[in-house]
Structure 1
């Protein structure tokens, strides 16, 4: 058997097993997707600059939600928990029905480690490559840490950044990926507005996220 497929099988089974579980989650009534506008008011631009500044100053954060991941014909979905402390990340994906899960950790100068695979963990220097080799999926982990909060990734200027009428990102194109921001949590109690639903696409690779809750990462 091909060695890569030996690694792909357990995670693929995990994701397929999660399909039924995620399908049973009650769906929130989705708001109409806002259009990208040609011009944003000065007030909206200032609000977005303040939002980005506030988020970049908050280096420890977390979210819980649902993820759907696909690469060509290979894909599935499950529950996701993401905790970020500076450059260090801990991402967990779980299938409630099968009670299977895997965990990806790394960053801040530490090697990347993927646990939960049959045969033991996989390690490497690049989170995206570790996942690609183990699962066959293309997931830009380091960039998603910025994109998921509605921020361009730190590595280079985006090719395109379009906004909705409220000045929030609507379409971001960077490093070969297009990220569509489809729904937002409003700003409240001193907290900036954060994405509720995003979709990232690069060729036949797709990552869709629905964030159920944002929070602070535990120290």
Structure 2
């Protein structure tokens, strides 16, 4: 693992707690209505996350967990990765036009035209940010293989080499079509869990 990759992993793992279960996501009414109709153009979400990286033999297994604040809209994306106390560790800015910027807590900055490429260079495996905005709303992309649950919601989805499992809160409210948790894995190399805490639509 090169020095830049080691730096990011050491920053992200410093002081992070183990991932834990959280209550079903609190969902803004407008977002729930739009999600059931096919997703929203803009949202602000908070989530606990855990990431486990199982590299090829000869490399050290790594895992960390923390919090994610994500603003998504037509002008682009801003993802802030934090420790459990809310201190920023890394920030990824993806404008609608122009290069993607990754900035670490020590001031290190990286730029790339493709966010997946940038994350792949740093972590060694890509995170599909292009699809993730739909995934967190339980909206599979075109060509995805989807197995629904008894209510017709996506339960198990295979897309772009990833296997996604959705978990929903109890009840029959209008919010129940949005997931409370997403478990995603890529060929056993990368495992990502997002436990959603809050959703809000943005104007």
Q: If the length of structure 2 is used for normalisation, what is the TM-score?
A: 0.80
**Larger C-alpha radius of gyration, 1 or 2?**
1
Task: Give the structure 2 partner of residue 37 of structure 1.
Answer: none
**Counterpart check, 1:11 vs 2:2:** no
Pair 1:200-2:180 in alignment: no
In the alignment, does 2:158 pair up with 1:170?
no
- Farther off after superposition, 64-73 or 108-117: 108-117
Q: Output one character per residue of 1:102-153: Cα deviation in whole Å (capped at 9) or x when no partner.
A: 1111142231110115462111011122112123343111111111110113
Change in CA separation of 1:85 and 1:28 when aligned onto 2, cut-off 3 Å: closer
Contact (CA 8 Å) 2:45, 2:71: kept in 1 or not? yes
Q: CA deviation at 1:172?
A: 0.7
Query: Aligned partners of 2:38 and 2:176: how far apart in 1?
Result: 7
Counterpart position of 1:139: 127
TM-superposition CA deviations, 1:179-217 (whole Å, max 9, x none): 1002347675x6572111011111111111000111123
Relative to structure 1, the CA distance from residue 28 to residue 67 in structure 2 (aligned partners, 3 Å threshold; closer, same or farther) is closer
How many residues are treated as equivalent by the alignment? 188
1:12 alignment partner, SS class: helix
- Within 5 A, what are the aligned runs for 1:64-79? 64-72=46-54, 73-79=61-67
The question of whether the paired residues in 2 share the 8 Å contact of 1:186 and 1:193 is answered with no
Larger helix fraction of residues = 1
Q: Does 1:120 align with 2:112?
A: no
Instruction: Tell me, in whole angstroms, the C-alpha distance in 1 between the residues paired with 2:117 and 2:105.
Output: 16
- 1:14-93 paired onto structure 2 within 5 Å: 14-20=11-17, 27-28=21-22, 54-56=37-39, 58-72=40-54, 73-86=61-74, 88-93=76-81
Give the secondary-structure state (helix, strand or coil) at the position aligned to 2:137: coil
> What RMSD in Å do the two structures reach over aligned CA positions?
2.7
Distance between the aligned counterparts of 1:138 and 1:187, measured in 2?
36
* CA distance in structure 2 between the aligned counterparts of 1:170 and 1:51, rounded to whole angstroms: 19
CA distance in 1, matches of 2:183, 2:75: 23
Checking the alignment, whether the CA contact within 8 Å between 2:22 and 2:197 is kept in structure 1 is no
Tell me the equivalent position of 2:165.
Answer: 180
Structure 2: 5+ residue stretches without partners: 25-32, 55-60
Q: 5+ residue gaps in structure 1?
A: 31-49
